Amino acid sequence: MTDAKSKYRELCLSNPEIPLINRDWWLDATVGEDGWDVLLVERGGEIIASLPYHRTKKMLFDVIDMPYLTLTMGIWIRYPPGQKYATRLSYEKEIYLELIEKLPKVDYYYQHFHWSITNWSTFYWRGFRQTTRYTYLLENLKDLDRLYANMKEKTRNEIRKAEKQLEVVESDDIETFHRINEMTFKRQGEKMPHSLDFIRRVDLACRERGCRKIWFAKDREGRIHGAVYLAWDEKCAYYLLGGGDPELRKSGASSLLLWEAVKRLSSVTENLDLYGGMHEPVETFFRSFGATQKPYFQISKINGKLFKFAYYLKQAIGQLAAVVATMVLCSNFAQGMMV
């Protein structure tokens, strides 16, 4: 294990500011112990910034990208207390420059930064690109009255109606959860993006640490209408996964489940991150809960010349033609080398 990695494991143990989805054990569970590494910035023997990353191979390319089920990753910064705004910006610049310097030179880099990172200028000057994405946040879970009042009338009605016929029960049954989760993807005609093995591994890690809940909404006949999977740390809960039985969609189970999750988690953490919302129907659902739109940055950079060629050619002429053209180019290049 690298020196930085073992230091980071210690940091995760002692520092509640590192979000759960960036902690060492989460990364172990989602991408495997060898699938990630971390960059640290240290001053006087103390870690003042960290950036974990997931490194992988895609075809012939070396890539840093986002681990599945992880919405954002890095950068965590320790700010000195009482820092002046002008000093803060130069402090950030110094840290970002050191991190960029240390980043492995992969063909393609792309990460989603946590929404606390609002300044990407330094990355811009070093040739990175950026686009803004949104997640939706229910803030201050202690204030249940306000959260309830912020919901749309329609959503409140749905919850009241669902309460009459459904019961929200806690469970450890990850297999059943997975089955319900899969139904939602099937209904939309999409492939299930993860395997049962994957979610079992993540679930085991969360369960051991007592920081996850699975809730089912069941009717009197015991039929499961919907299910949610949430995990949390000291600051925030994450609405990781959810699903519903397409046959029983009208019962308002998803609204009820989310509201129950809010109520039951209000004593253990501060906020609830709805974990996404770039997809239009999802945004509509989150908006009906009165959630706050929270922008976060996608930062990317293409280093490899061949990757760049293939990437843009794909945009210009479509994937298949780009793959063929790149292969022809490669083989010509290889022949040229041999001659």
Partner 1 sequence: MNAVSTLRTITNTEAKMKYRELCRKEPGLPLFDQDWWLDVTCGGADHWDAVLVEQDGCIVASMPYRVTKKSMFEIVSMPQLTLTMGVWIRYPEGMGAGAKLAYEREIYSALIDGLPQVDYFSQQLHWDNTNWSIFYWRGFRQTTRFTYVLEDLSDLERVYAGFTDSVRDEIRRAEQQVKIAWSDDLARFQEMNSRLFDPPRFPMPYSFEVLKALDERCKRRNRRKILFAEDADGEAHCAMYLVWDDRYAYYLLGGETPRAKESGAHSLLVWHAIREMAKFGKRFDFHGGMHEPHEIMYRSFGATQKPYFQISKINGKLFKFAYYLKQAIR
Please report whether residue 153 would count as binding partner 1 according to CB under 8 A.
Answer: no
- Structure tokens that stand for 126 in this block: 């070093």
Q: Which of residues 272-301 bind partner 1 (CB under 8 A)?
A: 277-278, 280, 283, 287-293, 295, 297
Beta strands in the chain (DSSP E): 36-43, 46-58, 61-65, 76-77, 108-112, 129-138, 167-171, 212-218, 224-232, 236-244, 271-273, 292-302
Residue 119 in contact with partner 1, rule: CB under 8 A: yes
At 67 the three-state DSSP class reads coil
* Contact flag: residue 157 with partner 1 (CB under 8 A): no
CB nearer to partner 1: give 129 or 186: 129
- List CB contacts of 214: < 8 A, sequence separation 6 or more: 170, 171, 172, 173, 174, 177, 227, 228, 229
Q: Is 138 in the site for partner 1 (CB under 8 A)?
A: no
| Rounded Cα distance, 99 and 41, in Å | 7
125 forms part of the interface with partner 1 (CB under 8 A)? yes
Q: If binding is defined by CB under 8 A, does position 130 make contact with partner 1?
A: yes
Q: Which of 68, 79, 124, 333 binds partner 1 (CB under 8 A)?
A: 124
Could you say whether residue 84 binds partner 1 (CB under 8 A)? yes
List the end-to-end C-alpha distance of the chain, in Å, as a whole number.
Answer: 43
31 versus 313: smaller Cβ distance to partner 1: 313
Which region among 46-54, 144-152, 171-179, 187-195 touches partner 1 (by CB under 8 A)? 144-152
For every residue of 127-144, DSSP letters joined together read: T-EEEEEEEEEE--TT-H
Q: Where does this chain bind partner 1 (CB under 8 A)?
A: 84-87, 89-90, 118-121, 124-125, 129-132, 134, 150-152, 277-278, 280, 283, 287-293, 295, 297, 308-313, 315-317
